[in-house]
Structure 1
């Protein structure tokens, strides 16, 4: 039994469709367009996956950083053995500001990933429109 070609997963389907000669249909062109669609989806998925990995790494870094700060603050309070001071309130406020800035950074990273994925798909849609126009012009000739 023949192995499917990894570079052209539509090979068998193309061969089958070419057996049925349909006037006005360029089967290889149609199959090539579908192959490009699949490539665009794979690229969009890879971009989204890489973005999600980056987001997860940033979240882990934020968690480690926040836990480290809280551990240091707890150690300071324990060592002092006194009631929280204004310095403690200032440290907490700084920690909150940093956490908010980190959250904004994560939101921007997620937006960037979505924009890149959308751009890949939008480009492929535009290519599909151009390919369709080209096929229709060939049929008119």
Structure 2
């Protein structure tokens, strides 16, 4: 079977009979500019959130390392006795603080993700409304 010179001839013929809505090139360009701005803002929020997360993780790691080193030293030197109970209380406090720190990191990530989603979601809704406006004029 011979291959047609233009394999899209049937598609072109079919689409030529289809009534295409008039497109305002300036409105389309403006819509794409706003899409790009929204993605840029979302990206900046994500980068800022990631930066905040890394900075806070570094702070937590430094503090936790110093506290762990101190607790290990105290346990090694203390043995049993009244100081041992205080050391156990300190160790428990350190574990509770570590848990609170992890929750804080989780909150940083969640806030960043929510803000990024809100920016993109808002822009998508606006874009749908913008596409609907020219269609309403027809």
Q: TM-score of the superposition, structure 2-length normalised?
A: 0.77
Q: Give structure 1 regions of 4+ aligned residues with deviation exceeding 4 angstroms.
A: none
**Given the alignment of the two structures, is residue 137 of structure 1 paired with residue 127 of structure 2, yes or no?**
no
Aligned to 1:63: 61
Correspondence for 1:30 among 28, 31, 40: 28
Which structure has the bigger radius of gyration? 2
| RMSD over aligned Cα atoms | 1.8
* Structure of greater relative contact order (alpha carbons < 8 Å, 6+ residues apart): 2
What does 1:54-133 correspond to in 2, within 5 Å? 54-80=52-78, 82-83=79-80, 85-133=84-132
Q: State the distance in 2 between where 1:121 and 1:57 align.
A: 26
Indicate how the Cα distance of structure 1 residues 98 and 23 shifts in structure 2: closer, same or farther if over 3 A, else same.
Answer: closer
Aligned to 2:38: 40
> Cα distance, 1:40 vs. partner?
0.6
Deviations 1:60-119 (A, max 9, x none): 111011111112223334554x35822222111110000001111111111100110011
Q: State the distance in 2 between where 1:78 and 1:133 align.
A: 72
Q: State the distance in 1 between where 2:31 and 2:114 align.
A: 23
Q: State the distance in 1 between where 2:87 and 2:60 align.
A: 20
Check conservation: 2:74, 2:87, Cα contact below 8 A: no
